[in-house]
Structure 1
């Protein structure tokens, strides 16, 4: 469903597919709920309030997965914030069809922070979004700043769960930086797109910063019993 190159181009222009909203009874939505359940099992021994979603390379569906996981957590009653921390190729504002003139970069660059001005509500009362804001010349430096640490603390005091949609980890350092600041990291791996070397490199980069890798989402794997659908699955980190 999501593994064709023309779909990736369309996603960059229009945002990701919120199938958990448009088709709540679909097989894919049920698989997204399974991911939610597995994440919750990971929360038994350690609170996971801030989660990074990344991938080894581009086009693996990390924005689609993170947005839909945010939706199913909100549907369960948790107060969720989806943050577009991909300040290079942001998509959240396109997905939810909202302006992106202010956002995360606004919080990180202005002296006075006003969350009410930049956090936007969605059709689900439990789901809010923080778009990327204007694309800055120095995303990595902004994410690695003390202001970012303070911003995370402020957001964590207002929401049950914060999901950060990050760029691919092998491409730039942004996801590696944020993985060191948050409670958990989930790596999206797309069948037929990801290559073994890149995935191993992603794991190495996360290990360097002592990231808590919650698991891996396998995206675009065809279900043998029903070839009309693609499904997602979450596999725990193998150490």
Structure 2
């Protein structure tokens, strides 16, 4: 995909890999790898408590950093409410996840190569009327099984936990969940409520990434969260 595409939105880990922010995302990736002591984090879901916390920016940069390690990586835009991956990577969204889950397309038809070597994208597809039902369907289980076979790392972007049930539905099917929090605007009670909602469905929360920390150009800050 050409960088002159009008829908292209640069991902800092690709556009400026030497920057402090890119290094912070690589550190986040490394810290997540250390969370693999119990089981591999092959399917990792990234979400937030509320909107505008930076979850999509975080997952897209993480996807780039994983691909840069020559691991076969796919980013799945499972935010079937307000998808963004096709805008960021300048891709068509005519066919995507919603088509696969509704049986209108196969995985090979929907997956798209990004401009970044080793990184594929499964865009959301057209917004369906029943996102939670599709994400909780047996077809979703089949899709995740396929992705496990074809990729080393599967990163899944979902809507915020407190907005709709989608994140809870997907989280129980993943190896781990990274919760992104805006350090300036995120509210502690919302983070706790989101954490409890994920733990209610027995999701494995592997950490919290703080965006917009006070240190200039710090990027995301990662903290491990013990399960209770």
Superposition TM-score tier, normalisation by shorter sequence: over 0.9
2:54–2:180 contact (8 Å) kept in structure 1: yes
Look up the SS of the partner of 1:188 in the other structure.
Answer: strand
Q: Which residue of 2 aligns with 1:172?
A: 164
5 Å matches for 1:1-239?
17-110=10-103, 113-223=105-215, 227=216, 229-239=217-227
Cα deviation for residue 142 of structure 1 reads: 0.4
Look up the SS of the partner of 1:221 in the other structure.
Answer: coil
Q: Distance in 2 between matches of 1:44 and 1:17?
A: 33
Look up the SS of the partner of 2:145 in the other structure.
Answer: helix
Q: Which residue of 2 aligns with 1:9?
A: none
Cα deviation for residue 44 of structure 1 reads: 2.8
Which stretch shifts more, 121-130 or 64-73?
121-130
2:7–2:89 contact (8 Å) kept in structure 1: no
Q: Per-residue displacement from partner, 1:202-235 (whole Å, max 9, x unpaired)?
A: 0110110111101000001021xxx3x2421110
1:16–1:64 contact (8 Å) kept in structure 2: no
1:16–1:63 contact (8 Å) kept in structure 2: no
| Structure 2: unaligned runs, 5 residues or longer | 1-5
Look up the SS of the partner of 2:52 in the other structure.
Answer: coil
2:180–2:210 contact (8 Å) kept in structure 1: yes
> Considering only aligned residues, what root-mean-square deviation do their CA atoms show, in Å?
1.5
| Number of matched pairs | 222
Question: What TM-score comes out, normalization by structure 1 length?
Answer: 0.89
Distance 1:196 1:14, change over 3 A: farther
Q: Per-residue displacement from partner, 1:63-114 (whole Å, max 9, x unpaired)?
A: 0000000100000111000000000000000000011011000101126x52
Q: Distance in 1 between matches of 2:8 and 2:75?
A: 14
Q: Distance in 2 between matches of 1:16 and 1:197?
A: 33
Question: What TM-score comes out, normalization by structure 2 length?
Answer: 0.94
| Structure 1: unaligned runs, 5 residues or longer | 1-12
Cα deviation for residue 15 of structure 1 reads: 7.5
